[in-house]
Every structure is written in C-alpha cells, then in structure tokens.
Amino acid sequence: MARIKNIDLPSEKHVCIGLTAIYGIGRPLAKTICKDAGVSETKKVKDLTEDEINSLRKEVDKYSVEGDLRRDVQMSIKNKMEINCYEGVRHKKGLPVRGQRTNRNARTRKGKGKVVANKKKVGK
C-alpha cells in the first residue's frame, strides 16, 4: 500500500486517480506529478515499486498539499473575516461567498428552510 503525505492511496485505482485522494491534488496536477516522476498514469497503485513510490513522494513534496494547504486556506479565511471585507462578512454569516443566489438555493450554507404559515383563503 502506497502512503504519501500520511494518506493511504487507494490500491485498486490508477496512480493518476489515486493521487487525487491527497488534499490539493486534482487530476491535472496528478498527471504532471506522474509525468515528472516517470511513472505511468495507467499503472495501478498496488503495482508500484518502492522506487516509484519514493519518486512520487519527492514530486509531491514540491507542492503545497494536505496540512500546509489547509492551514493556508483557513488563515486566508480568518484574515478576510478580521478585516471585514465582503467575503469575510459572508463567511461570518454563513452565506455563499462567490456571488451565488440565495433566495432559491444555498441550503447547505443557510441551513434548513424556514416554514411560512399558510394564509387563510377567502371564499367567494
């Protein structure tokens, strides 16, 4: 089992896909890492040799991933909240930050929907 940056890579997947289990590595970066490390993208993680795993580790170490990246993102959010910029205010209120609508959607950020009481219908 390959372990990079304290993350166990899924052994049944291709190396390119398995690397995306690490926070901060997406498909394009995973392909770049595989190419620079000299490892075939279509090779399964379980079939990697120790030399290939070590070369992948060296390539991944060149990028800010996992704990360092999470810390940077959290510090950036805290900084925006402290200086009360627009994004920081939205983070404080738990609203969408990047310009999405809020009157019909954004339930994951706003919470459960509020029920509005029914009005009585006036019969004619």
**Boundaries of every domain in the chain:** 3-60, 66-106
Question: For the domain bounded by 3-60, which CATH number is listed?
Answer: 1.10.8.50
List Cα–Cα distances, 13 to 7, 39, 98, in angstroms: 14, 14, 33
Q: State the pTM of this model.
A: 0.76
List Cα–Cα distances, 116 to 33, 82, 122, in angstroms: 53, 35, 18
Looking at domain 66-106, its CATH superfamily turns out to be Ribosomal protein S13/S18, C-terminal domain (4.10.910.10)
How far is it, in rounded angstroms, from Cα 42 to Cα 15?
Answer: 7
Q: Check for a shared fold between 3-60 and 66-106.
A: no
Whether 12 has a pLDDT exceeding 70, the answer reads yes
The predicted-structure confidence for 67-98, as pLDDT tens digits, reads as follows 899 999 999 999 999 999 999 999 999 999 99
Residue bearing the bigger pLDDT, 120 or 62? 62
